[in-house]
A and B are shown apart, each in its own frame.
Chain A
Amino acid sequence: MSETFVIVGASLAGGGAAATLRQEGFDGRVILIGAEPQPPYERPPLSKDYLRGESSFEEALFQPSNFYEENGIETRFGARVTRVDATGNVVEFGDGEQVAYDRLLIATGGRNRRLSIPGLDLEGVYGLRTVADCERIRAEIAPGRKAVVVGMGFIGSEVAGSLRQSGVEVVIVDRNEAPLRRVLGEEVGRVIEGIHRDNGVSMIFEDTVAAFEGAGRVERVTTQGGRRIECDFAVVGLGIEPVTGLLAGTGVEIDNGIVVDEFCRTGVEGIYAAGDVANHYHPVFERRIRVEHWQNALKQGHAAARNMLDKDEPYDEIPWFWSDQYDLNLQYAGFHTEWDELVVRGSMGERNFVAFYRKDGRVLAAVAANRGRDLRRSMRLIKAQCPVDAAKLRDLDVDMRLLADAASSH
């Protein structure tokens, strides 16, 4: 009898996994289930060109709309799985309907973190995760309107940039001293701050939102620091939390997402996880990491599918992502939580640099501004996890490929 592989989460990871199962020759049933009504699509445009009305939704679709049918992939879009029964090997929808599986991939991603701020439910206060969220924000955009963006992480920064580019007056409120300071450090944060300042964004740091106020609809944002900021709408970007509730009672370990090994396997036979929801054991960094980015979703989805077919291939891609803000192309590769030295190659003042996060002589991660080639070349260096001379990293005349070659041959 042929096997049934069920994928919960019609996301980049889930859609990519479904495609990979077929590419790898799996001839059983593949059922792709997603809570959103749309087939899998890419989220990066939602804070960038799609938000600005410069591209169509069709361009964001992960696969052409006939792809699933042509590849014999059964789809259930707009259907939310609420429970997994790992003993009976079924997933269950909200209305009680069940679908049986032999192997199961969870790629449910994340939902926006909602802090308990008074007025968060007022009309005109938005989060951004789905295309539906994006449409609502798009409908608010018009030159001269006023927006408050709460949180200056990557999504907040990109949304602020897109709003500004669309003529909206933008005020950002962020609790840190500089944008992304905790992640990228003060120096890199100041570069991001600078480009937003040059583009006319007002930024308020070291303050947090006390309330969204208005009669039925948001009219102003008040802060703990006592500010009152009038606005026509607000966008909140305070990160996501992994969607894991459906696994309650299955015995699958949940700790900052779904805990999986290097093969994307949970501790429960036949259940796998990939993408934003997966807290994956990364063999290069020798620890678990949960990554919320495009490349990880895509490639980890592929890897999970291959491992569902018992290929036993550890997933060891170096995490990488980009963030486009105005004419700034920011990219990050690697994984770091702390560093003892930031080595800068290029010029921060000219916004053309790679900054390496170095610890005990090894490069853990790098962030680049308008210097994508060097960033890509540093990925092998990061993978090698070997000591690298800081002076050479700084020297623009030293080809990054040679440094990577030297590190790889260690």
Chain B
Amino acid sequence: MTTSTVSAPRKRRFLREQWNNLSRPAQWAILIPVVVLIYFLPVLNPPLIATTGTDFPTAMFDVARYALVAIGLNVVVGQAGLLDLGYVGFFAVGAYVAALFTSPNSSLAKLPYLWTLPLAMAVTMIFGIILGAPTLRLRGDYLAIVTLGFGEIIRLVADNVDPLRGQSGFERVGTDADGTPFFANATAWYWLTVTIIIVVLLLVGNLERSRVGRAWVSIREDEDVAEIMGVPVFKFKIWAFVIGAAIGGLSGALYAGKLGFVNNQSFDVITSMLFLAAVVLGGAGNKVGVLLGAAVVAYLPLRFVQLAEYNYLIFGIALIILMIFRPQGLLGARQRLLARGRQAYQRLLGRGEQISGESALAADTQGGPR
């Protein structure tokens, strides 16, 4: 029982096991230099990696922005297994909140830019509840279409409601009263975003390891069973939705501040799909995976400008091929459902847990189309 079935999954989990077996100080010893390196990337401007079309710090900010979005969407799609196709709607709400409270084009009272970040999160959370409360009782694939509709509604409202200024948009977003921008250069924006990413990663990581996270995973794996086992499914779905929305809104506000300009043009469905592609590509349910996915989706088109014409086509084909051959993404989901069970397994059999190494995206559940 123990030896015959282990070899294949073992190989795949080799790196992760090795990482888990390292002591905490050893993990820190590897992590800290990596993080420092990530911080200094735009300053180092390494050859080969540096982008040619856009200046490198701006490209790196874009990557960081996508990474933040991917972390937020990962809570919804990867952890709780709710397919959200209108995530760009939350991103847009965050951007518009930042714009409305900092741009001189808006008639609202001005706030310091940093204050608009928590405000954007709060407002998008409210939007998350507004959208989630009626729709999260629906089956998964209906939810996908409704969220898609929601994303479009947000975009169309931005088009049509005059105070949101449609295509003419808000200028000088993120400036204070005398018109100086919050940060002068892209590198500073990148640093701010990376710092926020680290904080958000810590918070989300803690959530995942808590009761909330276990509830999410149980909902993802099998909603009906979770309900029977006494998990308040609806409540935790709302939580996933709201937390995901808040992170999306935060990213939107950062984007608005960095760009300094918000109009209705950057919140279309394709952007939503790219966000989703980042999560699915990297591996829904795996934080490191989605960071990788976001880096791929945001960075490659900027680096290989000559392919820009084809990048959506490539993403489309890549998604199909990926779903056929590796539906769990580049890095599969980390199974967190059995934290205690894993310890028991280790004590019993002297190795890591082997139960359901695949995520909901890859598991043989009975819910799939026949």
| A and B together in one complex | no
Q: Residues of B with Cβ closer than 8 Å to A?
A: none
